Amino acid sequence: MIAGKNVLAFVMAGGEGSRLHPLTADRCKPSVPFNGKHRIVDFVLSNLVNSEIYSIYLLVQYKSQSLIEHVRQSWTMARFIPQHFVTVVPPQMRDGPKWFQGTADAVYQNLHLMNSLQPDLVAVFGADHIYRMDIRQMVQFHVETNADVTVATLPVPLAQVSHFGIVDTDAQGRIREFREKPATARPMPGRDGHALASMGNYIFSADVLRRELQRAHETGESDFGKHILPRTLKSHRLMAYDFANNIIPGTEPYEEPGYWRDVGTIDAYFDAHFDTLGAAPRFRMTNTRWPIYASPDQAESAQIERGYINHSTIGSGSIIDGAYLDHAMLRRSVRVEPDARLEQCIVMERTRVGRGAKLRRVIVDQDNHIPPGEVIGYDLDKDRQRFHVSEGGIVVVPKCYFPQDSRSPTETTEHEMVMA
């Protein structure tokens, strides 16, 4: 119970993530690894659980097997409160052989789950952002303002409005206009150069959501941002919740207030990783009062034989032997051999970086063996002949691009490959 209300959550985890290709070649966007041992989906699930919302349906669609395996292993609710759940729900095709047609259609296809639990409020949240949020504060705002729908919002630069739903509000925060991904937008009051954007996180009064989803289904509408929210402005009370007012316990003074990142592109994904590095990062992963829960980790501690390491993280089971690491982030069971050099790199599970290899501003997906002497990230024209290179110059080496000639430092099991 939050503010005297029973709250059910639907998490939209069906994102294809085409702008994150090739990291999404074999996995959906919420399943993409982040930092040392997390996946992107862990942030929204942690925020819900920390906010005491324990009834969670995760709606999946594209390339969902690794996400299903991750949730099965990492999000057994017995770890928290046994009588509640995180349940993965693929398209049920109850009304015919079709996948989810949009965010609203995804929830509509699962109205039977909502009806069986009879919640007072329904949280509909995205699964592909990096942030901390106490959702109880948003629920309290929803109740106190007598809202039918509450939309979490934050300012974004005018140059980025085409990526977001943009809202205009009155002085009390009531939404007067909602436009999904407009080409341009007016500046918000008191903040030149910025517009007020939807974070894609909503709180609905359950009876309102049920009626509006039924109406949308009858008229062929399928999306909250494109259809339902703009249409209901005249008939319902829609309120904008200011994410800047959300207070998270344990936040340090040096952290960026209201940190939130949409990691929908390779460059944004890369930059967000390095926001977590250092003694005073913009976003601290180790807030014990508001943890971001991670995958269970059975690997041994990392081993540092010798070398130079600056501003880097080393995942468990990794071995560093005579290498140079500067702003490098290694996930689990990575081996870096003598004289290898990693600068501003992200290296994923079970990868070996061979002797003398040089990598700069590179993301290496899992299960690779970078050959000895290989050079990546120093000549982007040459790199484009083999790899994806982002607009910002980040080179992405896809999973298993370089064949493994051994299975060290740890054996790769069939189950680990499923967990990709």
Per-residue pLDDT of 198-255, as tens digits, reads 999 999 999 999 999 999 999 988 889 889 999 999 899 999 999 999 999 999 999 9
Banded pLDDT at 96 (limits 50, 70, 90): low
Does some domain include residue 114?
yes
Average pLDDT, the chain: 91
Q: What is the DSSP letter of 31?
A: G
Q: Is the pLDDT of residue 294 over 90?
A: no
Q: Is the pLDDT of residue 50 over 60?
A: yes
Pair 258, 328 in one domain: no
CA 90 to chain centre: 19
7-21, 23-37, 365-379: which has the highest mean pLDDT?
Answer: 365-379
What tens digit of pLDDT does each residue of 3-18 get?
A: 889 999 999 998 777 8
Pair 238, 324 in one domain: no
Please compute, for residue 54, the number of CA atoms within 13 A of its CA located in the half-sphere on the CB side. 13
Least confident of 80-94, 335-349, 393-407: 80-94
Q: What is the DSSP letter of 379?
A: -
Could you identify the residue written with the tokens 């609710």? 77
Does some domain include residue 267?
no
Pair 257, 318 in one domain: no
Higher pLDDT, 107 or 79: 107
Does some domain include residue 2?
no
Does some domain include residue 204?
yes
Domain boundary among 262, 294, 321: 262
Pair 65, 152 in one domain: yes
Task: Report residue 202 as tokens.
Answer: 């909503």
Task: Report residue 332 as tokens.
Answer: 């689990």
Does some domain include residue 71?
yes
Q: Is 305 helix (H, G, I), strand (E, B) or coil?
A: strand
Q: Is the pLDDT of residue 95 over 70?
A: no
- pLDDT (0 to 100) of residue 82: 55
Banded pLDDT at 93 (limits 50, 70, 90): low
Residue 201, domain CATH: 3.90.550.10
Pair 138, 224 in one domain: yes
Q: Using alpha carbons, select from 48, 126, 106 the residue that is nearest to residue 80.
A: 48
Pair 88, 227 in one domain: yes
Containing structural domain, residue 240: 7-262
Pair 222, 368 in one domain: no
Q: Is the pLDDT of residue 24 over 70?
A: yes
Pair 36, 168 in one domain: yes
How far is residue 164's CA from residue 144's CA, in Å, rounded to a whole number? 27
Pair 253, 307 in one domain: no
Banded pLDDT at 406 (limits 50, 70, 90): very low
Banded pLDDT at 141 (limits 50, 70, 90): very high
Pair 238, 322 in one domain: no
Banded pLDDT at 414 (limits 50, 70, 90): very low
Task: Report residue 413 as tokens.
Answer: 């099991």
| Terminal alpha carbon distance of the chain | 36
Task: Report residue 200 as tokens.
Answer: 């894609």
Pair 118, 226 in one domain: yes
How many domains does the structure of the chain reveal?
2
Residue 207 and residue 117 in contact, taking contact as beta carbons nearer than 8 Å = no
What tens digit of pLDDT does each residue of 271-284 get?
A: 999 999 999 999 99
Q: Using alpha carbons, select from 267, 208, 274 the residue that is nearest to residue 239.
A: 208
Does some domain include residue 322?
yes
Q: Is the pLDDT of residue 188 over 80?
A: yes
- pLDDT (0 to 100) of residue 15: 73
Residue 366, domain CATH: 2.160.10.10
- pLDDT (0 to 100) of residue 1: 80
How far is residue 103's CA from residue 324's CA, in Å, rounded to a whole number? 45
Does some domain include residue 47?
yes
Does some domain include residue 278?
no
Q: Is the pLDDT of residue 75 over 70?
A: yes
- pLDDT (0 to 100) of residue 408: 43
Pair 348, 227 in one domain: no
